[in-house]
Structure 1
Amino acid sequence: MSQHWVSDKPFDPHATSALSPEQEKFFLASQWKLIWWKFKRHRIAMLSAVFLIITYGVAFFAEFFAPYALDTRHTDKIYSPPQSVYWFDEGKFVGPYVYGWSYQLNMDKLIREYSEDRTEKYPVQFFCEGDDYELWGMFSGNTHLMCVDAPGSLYLLGTDRLGHDMLSRIIYGARISLTIGLIGIILSFVLGLTFGGLAGFYGGWIDSSVQRVTEIIRSFPELPLWMALSALLPLNWSPLWIFFGITLILAMLDWTGLARAVRSKILALREEDYTTAAILMGAKPSRIITRHMLPSFFSHLVASASLSIPAMILGETALSFLGLGLRPPITSWGVLLNEAQNINNVAVYPWLMLPVVPVILVILAFNFMGDGLRDAADPYRN
């Protein structure tokens, strides 16, 4: 009789004695942990994620980070160029400070020429008291990250034609532009998952109907369609309704690509054994889609969403720049760029184009982070 080599000990599914500690850590890790490990190795994506977290944090607490309130005007300092901040005085480190800021009218060029008054110095203070504000309309306060004592001024990015501080306006505008991207992608996500999931799971006339609708929407040029729908918004709507209207327009035209991706995944997954088992056990279609199918490729959906947010931000910026999106008193990056349409003003006051810088940086950061997430969504690929 041959020797019996099968162990009669109780089976332990977590026993990994044959694996090294590194192998055990890898093979027993969850999907999200694998994605996080892979994402951390993508340095540019990690830096982009940190930059976006900081940007959204600044936008969330815009009242605190902005040197001045949104509606504060300095009528005696219109079209002021950016001021310089100094750290050394006569070779000694004294901390940040600015000189007095004054101007003279140039009657030949019909512009204001600003100059520093070296006899006046104003230290830049941090966590100081400045303009009053209401944080998110609920909490009153007057503490700002940085400011200078009156009659000094702190225009790090200059002022516009009404004497508004450009840095403060850009910070306040970030709240609107970035919020539209998040709310828009949530709405687009819901529509894409719903219609794509139904089309892929049921097929038949439902699939055909969804596909024909997506083809019709995608056949129209995107920007002209945005402009046409934005022009239909009533002029007497409040700024809040205009905000939601623009967000809804962007979401309604962006869900088609996600719906097609979800449909193709569902078509493949509905033939899997675990899906058939769930159907035979009497699970409802909604449970099969949400509990069994979507989690298997949800990481890919997160990567797709991160790459779609820049399109939302660019859409709002383009519409507001053309005067068909958000309108004052709402402040967004597109609204700020709309005020810089006059090329003659831009040639004389180039700092009016500075709102385009955060748009470029945020779009690049989202794209880099999206690339990192897309690579990390397949953790077992080298």
Structure 2
Amino acid sequence: MLSWPRALVRKGRRDTGGGSSPEESAAREAGADPELGRASQWRLVWRKFRKHKLAVGGAVVVLAVYLVVVFAEFLAPASASATDERLTYAPPQTIQVDFSFSDGLDLYVYGYETRRDPETFEQKHTVDTSQKIPLRLLPRGESYEMWGLIPMDRHLFGPVDADQRAYFLGADRSGRDLLSRIIHGARVSLSIGLIGVVVSFALGLFFGGISGYFGGAPDTIIQRIIEFLMAIPTLPLWLALSAAVPPDWGPLMRYFAITTILSVIGWTGLARVVRGRFLSLREDDFVIAARLDGCGRRRIIFRHMVPSMSSHVIASLSMAVPAMILGETAMSFLGLGLQSPAVSWGVLLQEAQNVRTIETAPWLMLPGLAVFVTVLAMNFVGDGLRDSADPYK
């Protein structure tokens, strides 16, 4: 058996970059990462997405918001319906911090001193520095069932005494904690966005796929339907569809009705995106090769065409979720969607319609800030996914 001299072996390894192939050595000399040549498309998308700082920051915010949705009962200091009519329109309380080496960290808020205006008979709340409400982590409070299954009475943060109340973001006209209602309202508003997008995705992928793959008469009929739906003004369409919902339906039934309405309206844009991608993909070499190999239409669509455009579909879906959230918020704000006792961000913003109310209690606009931050973060994520959909650019 022939053996190469060790010096020649070491020289060959140095010439090829330590045992790597000539292609990897050339890529390394050109300044490129040789691992990219063997990386999958999803890994390339993730690599490019991480470089989009705003998208990564938006993803962190969106993840935090949906964690709030999942653990809403635990994170909220009180239930969404707990009222105290003595503290209507109570202003936000500021958390006070005292630290001493003997007692450690002491957190508390000052109580309220309530007086009634002798002329307008309106209640006025001022800070009462003589009354301290101690705060702590994981205090016992109002009982609830986590996810409707696990009975609990622990909350993340709140007063030590369960009989006392702390309004970190103020109270509404019924003396309900606004922070707790924003947290509980996030569950409804954000879940409507997800459910509506899932239904819109199914409709858009189905009709857009048929239109783009088959063309001809099916394409013409579907496109005329899409153009008809998109030509109807959005607000009158909401009015007509919401008027069809019986007023005696409960909050749950109206919840599913609003989801269905948003889905019926929202599938047309995604269908056009899917149609355009199918039109460009159906003449590609891999689709023609699959057709010549005897693959059926279903296999060609779901095993070859849909996976190749999945990144573009995900980017479109990420941009559709904020539109769904804004749609539910707008409908509930106008009184066409969810109504009390249901809690959503749009329902909370109904109380901010009166200018005098905003002048008296400007903190009632805070649900609008929650909508703004969430939608902006989702738009950043959508921009990052759209830019990363084609990692080779």
Equivalent position to 2:41, from 28, 31, 34: 31
Q: Equivalents in 2 of 1:117, 1:357: separation in Å?
A: 29
Alignment of 1:274-353 (within 5 A): 274-353=286-365
2:126 is aligned with 1:115:
yes
Q: Equivalents in 1 of 2:381, 2:73: separation in Å?
A: 27
Equivalent position to 2:109, from 75, 98, 102: 98
What is the letter of the counterpart of residue 229 of structure 2?
A: I
Q: Equivalents in 2 of 1:278, 1:95: separation in Å?
A: 70
Contact 1:87 1:93 in 2 (8 A): no
What is the DSSP-based 3-state SS (H/G/I as helix, E as strand, rest coil) of the residue aligned with 1:101? Answer: strand
1:365 aligns with 377
What is the letter of the counterpart of residue 63 of structure 1?
A: E
Contact 1:100 1:152 in 2 (8 A): no
Count the aligned residue pairs: 370
Equivalent position to 2:67, from 57, 61, 80: 57
2:140 is aligned with 1:140:
no
Q: Equivalents in 1 of 2:150, 2:98: separation in Å?
A: 38
The alpha carbon displacement at 1:161 in A equals: 1.1
1:83 aligns with 93
What is the letter of the counterpart of residue 74 of structure 2?
A: F
What is the DSSP-based 3-state SS (H/G/I as helix, E as strand, rest coil) of the residue aligned with 2:155? Answer: strand
1:7 aligns with none
Deviates more, 1:264-273 or 1:143-152: 143-152
Q: TM-score, normalised by structure 2?
A: 0.90
Please give the per-residue CA displacement for 1:278-312, whole angstroms capped at 9, x wherever unaligned: 22222221221111111112111111111111110
1:13–1:229 CA distance, 2 compared to 1 (3 A): farther
Identity %: 47
The alpha carbon displacement at 1:83 in A equals: 0.8
Q: TM-score, normalised by structure 1?
A: 0.92
1:376 aligns with 388
Please give the per-residue CA displacement for 1:211-252, whole angstroms capped at 9, x wherever unaligned: 000000000111221121112111122221211110111111
Contact 2:58 2:378 in 1 (8 A): yes
The alpha carbon displacement at 1:164 in A equals: 0.7
Contact 1:177 1:316 in 2 (8 A): yes
Contact 1:101 1:152 in 2 (8 A): no
What is the DSSP-based 3-state SS (H/G/I as helix, E as strand, rest coil) of the residue aligned with 2:133? Answer: strand
Equivalent position to 2:244, from 232, 235, 253: 232
The alpha carbon displacement at 1:108 in A equals: 2.4
The alpha carbon displacement at 1:19 in A equals: 4.1
Deviates more, 1:21-30 or 1:267-276: 21-30
Q: Equivalents in 2 of 1:79, 1:16: separation in Å?
A: 68
Contact 1:73 1:162 in 2 (8 A): yes
What is the DSSP-based 3-state SS (H/G/I as helix, E as strand, rest coil) of the residue aligned with 1:140? Answer: strand
The alpha carbon displacement at 1:153 in A equals: 2.4
Q: Equivalents in 1 of 2:366, 2:26: separation in Å?
A: 60
Contact 1:48 1:366 in 2 (8 A): yes
2:83 aligns with 73
What is the letter of the counterpart of residue 64 of structure 1?
A: F
What is the letter of the counterpart of residue 358 of structure 2?
A: V
Q: Equivalents in 1 of 2:79, 2:54: separation in Å?
A: 34
Q: Equivalents in 1 of 2:376, 2:304: separation in Å?
A: 34
Q: Equivalents in 1 of 2:306, 2:22: separation in Å?
A: 27
Q: Equivalents in 2 of 1:14, 1:90: separation in Å?
A: 67
Deviates more, 1:257-266 or 1:339-348: 339-348
Contact 1:192 1:259 in 2 (8 A): yes
What is the letter of the counterpart of residue 43 of structure 2?
A: K
Alignment of 1:218-257 (within 5 A): 218-257=230-269
Contact 1:35 1:379 in 2 (8 A): yes
Across the aligned residues of Structure 1 and Structure 2, the Cα RMSD in angstroms comes to 2.1
Please give the per-residue CA displacement for 1:330-358, whole angstroms capped at 9, x wherever unaligned: 10000111122222111111111211010
The alpha carbon displacement at 1:122 in A equals: 2.3
What is the DSSP-based 3-state SS (H/G/I as helix, E as strand, rest coil) of the residue aligned with 1:335? Answer: helix
What is the letter of the counterpart of residue 213 of structure 1?
A: I
The alpha carbon displacement at 1:13 in A equals: 11
The alpha carbon displacement at 1:361 in A equals: 0.4
Structure 2: runs of 5 or more not aligned: 1-19
What is the letter of the counterpart of residue 356 of structure 2?
A: N
Structure 1: runs of 5 or more not aligned: 1-11
What is the DSSP-based 3-state SS (H/G/I as helix, E as strand, rest coil) of the residue aligned with 1:132? Answer: strand
What is the DSSP-based 3-state SS (H/G/I as helix, E as strand, rest coil) of the residue aligned with 2:309? Answer: helix
